[in-house]
Amino acid sequence: MTSDIVPVELREGVIALARQAAEEILTIYRTDFAVTRKDDDSPLTSADLAAHALLLAGLQRLTPDIPVLSEESSPEVATRLRRHWTRLWLVDPLDGTREFVKRNGEFTVNIALIAGAVAIFGVIVQPTTGSLWHGARGCGAFRRELGYAEDAQDPAQAMDTPIICRSPAPTALRVAVSRSHADTRSAALIARMGGVAAAPEGSSLKFCRIAQGQVDVYPRFGPTCEWDTAAGQAIVEAAGGIVINSEGDRLRYNQRDTLRNGDFLALGDPDLPWQDWMH
C-alpha cells in the first residue's frame, strides 16, 4: 500500500479484527476479572492484554510491513526506532478501562493507521453494543451495527450507514465531556461558550458522537495519549469535522519523543469560533 487511500479489503480486515477484539473483551467483562495498576496508576485488566495480543498478531498478519504501536507495547518501543516509522498502526486495545471496571459499557477498541504523521483511517467499536464506526481519507465515515446476539446479523452482511458531522452547527451547541477525566480548564472553556448542553461519555465514543452529528464540540485539556485520539480523529475528519490543537493545527502523530497529546478540540463544524472560547 503506497497511497493514502486505504484499500477496502484492508479496511474490512481491520474491522473484522476490531470485532474479534471486542468479543474477547466481552468474554472477560462477564467474569469477575481482576484489576492491577500500571506505573502511572492507571488500571489494567486481562481484557486489555487479551485484546492487545489479538490485535498485534492480526495487524502483523494483515500488513507485515507496517509496525504496530499499542498502548500495551509502547514502553517496549524505543523512541529512536518508532520515529523512523513513516507508517504505523496506532492501537488502544481497550480505551476507557476505568469505564470497563465501572461496568458502565462506555469503553471501546481503537485502531488507526498513521501515514506521514496523519491519521488516515480509523476504526472504533463499542463491545457492549456492537456499534462500530470507521472512516478513511477520501472514503467517508460510517456506522455499522454488528451485534453479538445469537440471532444478530452476519457481520459480513452488516450494512454501513454514512455519517456526517453537524455543519453548520446549531445555535444551541452540544458539548462532549469526559465521564472520568473532568478538568477545570475544560469546564472553564465550556462556561465561556455559554448556553451549551453537556453530554458526558467515556472513551473515544465522544469522537463518534461528533462524527454522527449528535455532539458539536469535544474540548480536552486533561492528559491523553496518541492512541486515545488517532482513530477518533480519522473518523471525525472523514465525516467533515476537525481535531486541532490550541494553535489551530490538526493533531499529528509519532512526531515527538513523547506520545502524550497536548490540549485539543474536536469540532463538527470547522467554522465554529473556537478561538473566542480559548481566552
Grid coordinates representing 208 are 463518534
- The pLDDT assigned to 3 comes to 65
In the predicted structure, residue 9 carries a pLDDT above the cut 90: yes
Same domain, 178 and 273: yes
Q: Which distant-in-sequence residues (6+ apart) come within 8 Å of 125 by Cβ?
A: 18, 19, 21, 22, 108, 109, 131, 132, 133, 146
Is 208 a member of any domain? yes
Same domain, 80 and 191: no
Same structural domain for residues 118 and 183? no
Q: Does 92 reside within a domain?
A: yes
Q: How many domains does the chain have?
A: 2
Looking at the fold, whether 136 and 180 belong to one and the same domain comes out as no
User: Can you tell me the distance from the alpha carbon of 22 to that of 16, in angstroms, rounded to the nearest whole number?
Assistant: 10
Cβ(199)–Cβ(209) below 8 Å: yes
Q: Which long-range contacts (CB under 8 A, 24 or more apart) does 52-60 make?
A: 52/91, 52/93, 54/17, 54/20, 54/21, 54/24, 54/93, 55/17, 55/18, 55/21, 55/91, 55/93, 55/109, 55/111, 56/91, 58/17, 58/20, 59/14, 59/17, 59/89, 59/91, 59/111
pLDDT at 151: 47
Q: Are residues 128 and 97 in the same domain?
A: yes
Mean pLDDT, residues 141-153: 72
How large is the average pLDDT for residues 253-277? 95
Query: Are β-strands 87-95 and 68-70 bridged in parallel, bridged antiparallel, or unpaired?
Result: parallel
CATH classification of the domain holding 33 = 3.30.540.10
pLDDT band at 150 (very low <50, low <70, confident <90, very high): very low
End-to-end CA distance of the chain: 43
* Nearest alpha carbon to residue 121 among 253, 258, 261, 272: 253
**Residue 148 pLDDT more than 60?**
no
155 pLDDT above the threshold of 60: no
Q: Which residue range is the domain that position 263 belongs to?
A: 174-277
pTM (global) more than 0.75: yes
Of 114, 134, 162, the residue at which a domain comes to its end is 162
Same domain, yes or no, for 153 and 244?
no
**Same domain flag for 122 and 186:** no
33 and 144 together in one domain: yes
* Domain membership flag for residue 167: no
**34 lies in the same domain as 60:** yes
On whether residue 25 sits in a domain, the answer given is yes
Q: What mean pLDDT is predicted for residues 247-263?
A: 95
Q: What is the CATH number of the domain that holds 215?
A: 3.40.190.80
pLDDT given at position 154: 61
